Structure 1
């Protein structure tokens, strides 16, 4: 495949969505892999843009047909990533960025060449709690459940290719952007242009 896949993971409230939204506007030739989920939409989320919202019956049928490259149950809801979308986009030479949990990231790493795993860490657990409370999209019960998962999620960062600490959003965005852009300069990705330059030399 000609493109690369960038997997973004991290605990809820760490800023993954903000980082991805900015990069999709800033970096050309990169597309977001919209996951499928059985959870209900949050306020402001758009079907087909933020997630593909489907029923559990539909999700299980997609599992049966082998349409997911990975899927997992997270906080009682099912999430999955489409094989077809990722392969078609990467084969066209474009990059893909996605937001999935560490279990899904492991599956991606094992199944797709040219996949690069980036973990976003909060500056502290206390700061993460403040962010979760401040965004007001989840109940206190859900927030408590997410926080109980935080320590396990943070340990998962040890096997990621890259770790970015989001103690400043602008700096975190620049760090992830630099990682993605660096792969645009791999020799294999610009080999045709290199040959054109070399063959164009008349000396």
Structure 2
């Protein structure tokens, strides 16, 4: 099996990772999206097997015990995310490079395991106030302030890991951020 490359996009919830990952996928036919597993509820317009593999907590824990994940994390209390080993093999078998839209610790775990094959990019915004506004407009339940506060507190913690990534993209102007992401990924893929 020919090993490809990995582009790892990480950052706080609401930083723009998913928007930027979709944009990169539209510009680079040699990239394929790594579908993560999660135990969170499916959101409107998401598709099982396309956006995520939505698993029960018991099923997720069973896969942990069977060492089926290359990385996994309890990102929020009782809310798991992870990447299956067979997802990486599936994409590399198709001679594509892998694009990850992944939590910060998961991204660092991948970078540690595949240091010569990976490019890690941390996406952040310039204030918690902007992040809060983005999260509130994401069609989350207005009454779910506890979840919002958990995500904002986690974002404050995740900013401390930014320096461990290869690049930091400050997502103030989405057009400029996309342009910079194209340049960084292009340099890595075609080096």
Q: Same fold (TM over 0.5)?
A: yes
Segment of structure 1 superposing worse, 31-40 or 108-117: 108-117
Q: Which residue of 2 aligns with 1:122?
A: 125
Q: How many residues align?
A: 186
Unaligned runs of 5+ in 1: 187-203
Q: Which residue of 2 aligns with 1:184?
A: 189
Q: Which residue of 2 aligns with 1:151?
A: 156
| Cα distance in structure 1, aligned partners of 2:18 and 2:189 | 23
Q: Which residue of 2 aligns with 1:175?
A: 180
Q: Which residue of 2 aligns with 1:83?
A: 85
Q: Is the Cα–Cα contact under 8 Å of residues 69 and 82 in structure 1 kept in the other structure?
A: yes
Q: Match for 1:141 among 139, 146, 150?
A: 146
The offset of 1:88, in angstroms, is 3.8
Q: Which residue of 2 aligns with 1:195?
A: none
Per the normalisation by structure 1, the TM-score is 0.86
Cα root mean square deviation, aligned:
1.5
Per the normalisation by structure 2, the TM-score is 0.91
| Cα distance in structure 2, aligned partners of 1:142 and 1:118 | 25
Classify the secondary structure of the residue corresponding to 1:135: coil
| Cα distance in structure 2, aligned partners of 1:63 and 1:24 | 29
Map Cα deviations across residues 145-172 of structure 1 (whole Å, 9 max, x no partner).
1111121111110111000000011111
Q: Which residue of 1 aligns with 2:15?
A: 14
Q: Which residue of 1 aligns with 2:67?
A: 66
